[in-house]
Structure 1
């Protein structure tokens, strides 16, 4: 049950799409998704979202936690898969561990304007992602 009807729902797909679009705006086009550091960086971005969600009138409808044994997150894996289905990104063969963002700057800006919370939220979480993740490949 919702406490505040003025809050906007935020899905994991919108969160991840916003993260990808904000990364494009910062000149990032490819991310290595190999290993725990990628999942930890997305989790750190989610923690930033949690910290600002109420002031941005957002109600995240998901939780991102990295599994302490496997070092990954099923929620993040599903978000990556969802981004590929929406043609926002592709996973490069042969190992499917490089996530290539398929948005250009104009598409990224349009997407950011239409996501719940507005562009500023996603710019903030992209900064946290980049400060937490050294394996940006392009």
Structure 2
């Protein structure tokens, strides 16, 4: 059982197709319908075996690298969680930087007010507390 290396020459480049015995019929159809001449070479079993062994060894190396990268990713995530926890312990007042959230409706109203040259609802509330009159010039 020999494998074949099939090379197709084109104006812009070269393509190589490796075909085993099971695909021989399909290869014959391709050769039959090709518009340009095709070269066919038979690759000895020893060469195929040599490269199969190299690929098998590389697969083990790749799996080991993937495993190491996954471990490193998990360690970085854990370190980030530890750093966040340390920051919370060291600076307990910084936990709640945002005490309130706007609803979508509130945000849309604030944007509309800003487009009209008015102050947002929260600024209006603060100014009412201060009892300050806002003039057109202030806006």
TM-score with structure 1 setting the length: 0.20
TM-score with structure 2 setting the length: 0.20
